[in-house]
Amino acid sequence: MQNILIATEHYKELDDFLINSDARSLLLVCDDSLQFLRIKDYFDTLEDRTGIKVVRFSDFKPNPLYESVVEGIKVFHKNKCDLIVAVGGGSAIDVAKCIKLYSNMDDSKNYLKQKIVPNEITLLAVPTTAGTGSEATRYAVIYFNGEKQSVADYSCIPSIVLFDASALKTLPIYQKKSTMMDALCHAIEAYWSVNSTEESIGYSREAIQLIIANKESYLANDETGNANMLKAANLAGKAINITQTTAGHAMCYKLTSLYNIAHGHAAALCDTVLIPYMIKHLEQCIDPRGAEHLNKVYAGIAEAMGCKSVNQLVTAFSKIVNDLEFKPITVSSSNDIDVLKTSVNPVRLKNHPIKLTVEVIEELYRQILNVGE
């Protein structure tokens, strides 16, 4: 069970937790955003106030490398750390997860090739974006020899999460918009996934409702809106942790790298065209629970978004994306469609409730990019 702490002005709840943990030295895995955050002063003064040594590790970049994790493990052991704190977005949290997972493994061999043995090292996460939900999932992504490596184990899920609404105040508006859409797409895709359960649907429904109710105040940088969006992203992460992502995320990764747009922006574009296609092609349902179940799922998503009918869901989702005024994508090559349609991860398509052929995927990409045959 994940313990959620809500940050107050002087982080008393964090002090209480760290002092009660009996930690003597903690590894602070953080990205460059820490210097702009209120919580920086907390960690700068922690040792003087409590005697707990803070060892900072920032030697990683977005899309972190395996080698960075290895270096982090060395720092963890050299300084005899007994607790890990991750402050940052998905990359910082993913690096911290891997440091925790691999810290008790054989350092003479490649960690990626070894069986993960769970350990009791405490991992506390302070997410500084409201989108990935990485603090709630068993997944981490790192890169080895240029190839994406998906690491997955339940033991890497942070046992403690601190929601600090002030951490969202300094985010650029484009990042706020795209991370919000990442959370919304997580929640929607988890809702319709063939792997959905009663528990995951509950998380999805609550996440969607929170996002819809708080998107204006969140984008206006209101503290309550920021706090509720952190909660929504966490709930969406909990849902995805059960179901995994579906076609929207399978299709979005190449859009992100090909056009240098944010992940959540790309996911929103994909789900914008997927939603109407899925509603119109219920006969292509491949969820073992059948088309009747999927129709109820559509109705549940629509209701969570405040729509009176499934058909209104198409307009409502498109309006949210259009209102965010993302910069349009400029197609750089006539080969883009071929590159995109061959990039889709078939594993994630297995989680999708509607059958998608290569031809359908190509047509959906053409709609996204607004290009004809």
Residues 91, 208: Cα–Cα separation, whole Å: 24
Q: What confidence score (pLDDT) does residue 346 get?
A: 85
Q: What confidence score (pLDDT) does residue 373 get?
A: 65
Question: Look-up: residue for tokens 């270096």?
Answer: 71
φ/ψ bin of 142: left (φ > 0), alpha (ψ from -120 to 50), beta (otherwise): beta
Packing angle between helix 358-369 and helix 247-259, nearest 10 degrees? 50
Q: What are the pLDDT digits (tens) for 276-288?
A: 999 999 999 999 9
Q: Which stretches of the chain drop beneath a pLDDT of 70?
A: 372-373
- The alpha carbon of residue 298 and the mean position of all alpha carbons in its chain are separated, in whole angstroms, by 23
Q: What are the pLDDT digits (tens) for 109-155?
A: 999 999 999 999 999 999 999 999 999 999 999 999 988 898 999 99
3-class SS of residue 335: coil
User: Of 177, 175, 239, 243, nearest to 207 (Cα)?
Assistant: 239
Angstrom CA distances, 30 to 27, 35, 37, 133, 156, stand at 9, 10, 11, 16, 17
